[in-house]
A and B are shown apart, each in its own frame.
Chain A
Amino acid sequence: MSSHAITVTINGRVYRATVPARMTLVDFLRDELRLTGTHVGCEHGVCGACSIMFEGRPIRSCLMFAAQADGASITTVEGLAPEPGGLSVLQDSFWETHALQCGYCTPGMLIAAHALLMRIPNPTDEEIREAISGNLCRCTGYKQIVDAVKLAAERLSGKNQNG
């Protein structure tokens, strides 16, 4: 089996590695780099737990090989906060509305919502539901997640003075 030398920028840091051709991107992130915030749920591209930002867009890291990420810029859940130990406005909004329970789908959900807010700063409920519809959550029924994304949008646009 072939191996491939890759250079990837993840959360602002440059990583160089040699990976087997068949290694998925999520396995590379989790097992090689120990960035375990990104989760594996189905490994067939349905549940969205492995979502990451790849070149500015949300993708499923279980459906991509690590070798395909050569030269790419990636953000994982560990890179969403503005500073280490902090939380982004979106993450803090998830906390405020309790938009999670077991926390397993949460990193993927945050990525989906983060990507939405980059694209549409003030989304409607329908746009939020559409944006997270590729991320399955078994705990929340999605309600408090939709509330969190709305709250984050308000805070980020300055409408919410408590934000």
Chain B
Amino acid sequence: MAEAKFRYIATKRRPKEDRRFLAGAAQFVADINLQGMLHAALVASPYSFARIKSIDAKVALALPGVHAVVTGAELAAATEPMMSGLDAPKLFRWPMAHQMARYAGEWVAVVVADTRAIAEDAAELVEVDYEPLTPVTDPEAALDPASPAIHPEHGSNILFRKKWTWGPVAEDFAGADRRLAFRARWHRSSTVPIETFGVVASWDHARQLLDVWASIQMPKYPDQLARALRLPGNGVRVHFDVDVGGSYGVKRGLKHSILAGFLARKLDAPVRLIEDRLDNMRGGDAQGPDRIFDMEVAFTNAGVIRALKIRALDDCGAHAGRAPLQLGKPVGAICGPYRVNSVEYEAISVTTNKTPQEAVRGFGQAPTNFALENAVDRVASALGMDRIALRRLNLIRADEFPYTIPSGSAYDSGDYHAVLDKALAAGPYDALIVRRDAARAAGKLAGIGVVTCLEPSGGNSSFEPLFNPKNDTTTWMEACSIKVDAAGSITVSMNTTSSGQGHETLASTVVGEVLERDPETIRVVRADSLSALPSNSPVGSRMAIMLGGAAAGAAKKIKETAAAIAAKKLGVAPAEIDYADGVFSVRGEPGKKLTWQAVCETAHRRFHELPDGMEPGLQAFHVLEVPTGGTLPTADGRVQMYPCYSFESHVVYAEVDRVTGQVTLGRYVVGHDCGTMINPDIVHGMTYGGVAHGIGAALYERFRYDDQGQLLSGTFMDYLIPSSHEVPDIAIVDHCTPSPLTAFGQKGSGEAGYLGGPAAISCAVNDALAPLGIFLAELPMTPGLLGDLIATKQK
């Protein structure tokens, strides 16, 4: 597809939704205030593993203002367990613990009161008698069949274990000149939005309808909520016009919502459940991947990487959540942007007595990219070869697309060499080398990281059938509808919440582009879940592709209809109508024309002038299947995971303080190719933010547990989020390889920056530590960790 010229797309335009946030006039879930609303506070287990012997709520219930105390047992009896996503029929999970508490912070009871303060007071008065059990906190210990079973009915602590072999791995390893192996450790962190999760639920007796407002970013949330509450799907109405204060994957408070919905029905009153920060960090079930990679690489003396063996062991915490499936998505980019002949991948998910995980930006790809890029640097180091030359040698070439990797996914398009070159030029890399060497000469630890990473985009659910053969889902559609009124005003309806991605700007820009109407005049509204068309929410870097594609599809139908109306009125065939700048005209006879407004008025008022069989009014909707979607994995686990592949190359200069271990990032460049950017400011913003998030995961953020399973970093005093001091002035260099699979050549970008950042920073730090003979494949590289390691080597 040639690079097209656009009217509104790819131009600088002020995002549509920004104004309400700047005015302090947004509507977040905590801003919703219903008449008679009650407030919930949670009683959490202090033990990481314990049997719940009894719960005594008498004193709590006696406190004035308290309406109810509900235990996990009562809730479990009245609701369906949440789905695990796995073929594990004896793995049960309810919003609150019953019988056993499986991690410190797990909810065991909830108090509902007139105010949050009273509810918190009462929560402290609930007396729970526990019998502590021996926790499992080490994921490798959890592999041992003799480890205490956290879910006894399931029978072991292994939730998922499968090995795939794609291509002649054994032959490639046996025939390779060289092999190396190492272990990479990605410790547990998460996206930790500044807004915690919250939900308000209200039960309407007269209509038998549960209304829900939530800070949610979750596919199938209304369906799963209704199912758990034993309500029909049309008995739950989720309002999507709630502004979500950041998510990046994790805002999937299904358990909170089931609980709030249950309480609202039980008490016949609106109930609000807003996490406080400790609830969020410890009991919000929103931590991220916690992974041990055992990497093996087979390569030639010339530096050609032939084969990979990857064993990924993930500590999913106390319940499955989305953790096992986060081992699945990386199958779609398991060898990164490199030409690798064969791959073996073993994915193992174990349960331990820690907080469960939720989907985190990239869905497991950022840890995988970190392991892959360190593997590439290790190969270069082993061969004494320049790591950039090694990458150039192994990167898929621009003329090889579409390129199918051993695990079955075809990469749509790209020019990896060009993006790498642009990033190096922007460094500029030569100057960074001079700077590094001068710093080293002055006794400093200085290094440069250069990585090349993929962002699979267009969020499909192919990992679900891959990990659970009983799940035969092959569509992950997204929809959009458009109504044009008699005066020509356009209203676009989307079907999910947003959490900062600028979807109103996206949809209005795309519709404006197709209909040649100013996006500023286009209103974007959000359906509720009962009026919505089927959609799957903004996950997997999909909305530019999926909402953009659905909006374009609906707009094209509007344009066709309008042109048909104009053609009839002008007395010609529709094929003879031209449309430009809001005017329909007869080709070759520009004097014979009708305005956009005139056609819209006709559609709404003059049925007698409409083409035969046409419905009155001017409206359309489009439900888009994921491009390349629609098929199940093959028997040997080959699958087209996501349709589009964005690419990023990071060039990072870092210095490590020899005494404190503090890393300072002195230069940060991202070369980025996500195809056509619908709104460049939005794409750049997400990329800067992704890098900042990557800096956190690489250097600071860690949910640290002691050996009894107690979370040691549950506040912002000890779980450290990068501030404006830690995030340098990042430079982005754009490149555009349009995708052949999408409406305007766009690809996804919601995970940009984060998918390469931790890899790049770790490679820069390793370059800095190389003179000391240190190689460290462990994130986060906190000052304490690095300082101690450097001290050991300097002795």
Q: List residues of A whose CB falls within 8 A of some B CB.
A: 20, 22-23, 30, 34-44, 46-47, 49, 76-78, 80-81, 85, 87, 91-92, 94-98, 100-107, 110, 125, 128-130, 132-146
- Docked pose: A121 CA to B23 CA in angstroms: 22
**CB 8 Å contact bits of B214-257 with A (1 = contact, 0 = none):** 00000000000000000000000000000111111000000000
Q: Decide: A138 and B693 in contact? CB cutoff 8 A.
A: yes
From DSSP, what is the main secondary structure of chain A's interface residues?
Answer: loop
Q: Decide: B191 and A46 in contact? CB cutoff 8 A.
A: no
The answer, yes or no, to whether B725 is at the interface (CB within 8 Å) is: yes
Q: Decide: B724 and A36 in contact? CB cutoff 8 A.
A: no
The answer, yes or no, to whether B699 is at the interface (CB within 8 Å) is: no
Q: Decide: B685 and A139 in contact? CB cutoff 8 A.
A: yes
Residues of B within 8 A of A144 (CB): 681, 684-685, 688
Q: Decide: A141 and B277 in contact? CB cutoff 8 A.
A: no
- Known interface pairs A77-B24, A129-B724, A140-B689. Does A42 touch B245 (Cβ–Cβ under 8 Å)? no
- Docked pose: A144 CA to B194 CA in angstroms: 18
- Docked pose: A139 CA to B729 CA in angstroms: 15
Closest residue of B by beta carbon distance from A46: B716
Q: Decide: A94 and B716 in contact? CB cutoff 8 A.
A: no
**Can you give 25 contacting A-B residue pairs, CB < 8 Å?**
A34-B33, A35-B24, A36-B24, A36-B31, A37-B23, A39-B245, A41-B277, A42-B194, A43-B276, A44-B277, A44-B715, A46-B716, A46-B717, A96-B14, A100-B21, A101-B502, A101-B682, A106-B21, A137-B194, A138-B192, A140-B685, A141-B727, A142-B688, A142-B727, A144-B688
Q: Which of B14, B195, B688, B725 contacts A133 (CB 8 A)?
A: B725
- Docked pose: A129 CA to B727 CA in angstroms: 10
- Docked pose: A30 CA to B729 CA in angstroms: 35
Residues facing A in B680-718 (CB within 8 A) are: 681-682, 684-693, 715-717
- Docked pose: A44 CA to B721 CA in angstroms: 14
Residues of B within 8 A of A139 (CB): 246, 500, 685-686, 689
Residues facing A in B240-293 (CB within 8 A) are: 243-248, 276-277
Instruction: Bin chain B's interface residue count.
Output: 35 or more
Q: Which of A34, A43, A101, A103 contacts B26 (CB 8 A)?
A: A103
- Known interface pairs A102-B243, A102-B245, A138-B246. Does A46 touch B21 (Cβ–Cβ under 8 Å)? no
Most buried by A among B194, B682, B721: B194
The answer, yes or no, to whether B28 is at the interface (CB within 8 Å) is: yes
Residues of B within 8 A of A85 (CB): 23
Q: Decide: A95 and B19 in contact? CB cutoff 8 A.
A: yes
Residues facing A in B325-344 (CB within 8 A) are: none
- Known interface pairs A41-B194, A141-B688, A144-B685. Does A136 touch B716 (Cβ–Cβ under 8 Å)? yes
Residues of B within 8 A of A129 (CB): 724-725
Q: Decide: B685 and A102 in contact? CB cutoff 8 A.
A: no
Residues of A within 8 A of B721 (CB): 47, 136, 138
Closest residue of B by beta carbon distance from A91: B22
- Known interface pairs A44-B277, A101-B502. Does A39 touch B195 (Cβ–Cβ under 8 Å)? yes
Q: Decide: B689 and A141 in contact? CB cutoff 8 A.
A: yes
- Docked pose: A39 CA to B243 CA in angstroms: 13
- Known interface pairs A129-B724, A141-B753. Does A102 touch B692 (Cβ–Cβ under 8 Å)? no
Closest residue of A by beta carbon distance from B245: A104
Sample of 15 more A-B contacts, CB < 8 Å, known A35-B24, A41-B277, A110-B22: A43-B277, A46-B716, A46-B717, A94-B18, A98-B18, A100-B22, A101-B682, A102-B193, A103-B22, A103-B243, A104-B195, A133-B724, A139-B686, A144-B688, A146-B724
Q: Decide: A140 and B26 in contact? CB cutoff 8 A.
A: no
Q: Decide: B23 and A81 in contact? CB cutoff 8 A.
A: yes
Residues of B within 8 A of A140 (CB): 685, 688-689, 692
- A11 CB, min distance to chain B CBs, angstroms: 10
Q: Decide: A47 and B194 in contact? CB cutoff 8 A.
A: yes
Q: Decide: A134 and B502 in contact? CB cutoff 8 A.
A: no
Closest residue of A by beta carbon distance from B27: A36
- Known interface pairs A87-B22, A144-B685. Does A102 touch B723 (Cβ–Cβ under 8 Å)? no
The answer, yes or no, to whether B389 is at the interface (CB within 8 Å) is: no
- Docked pose: A22 CA to B31 CA in angstroms: 21
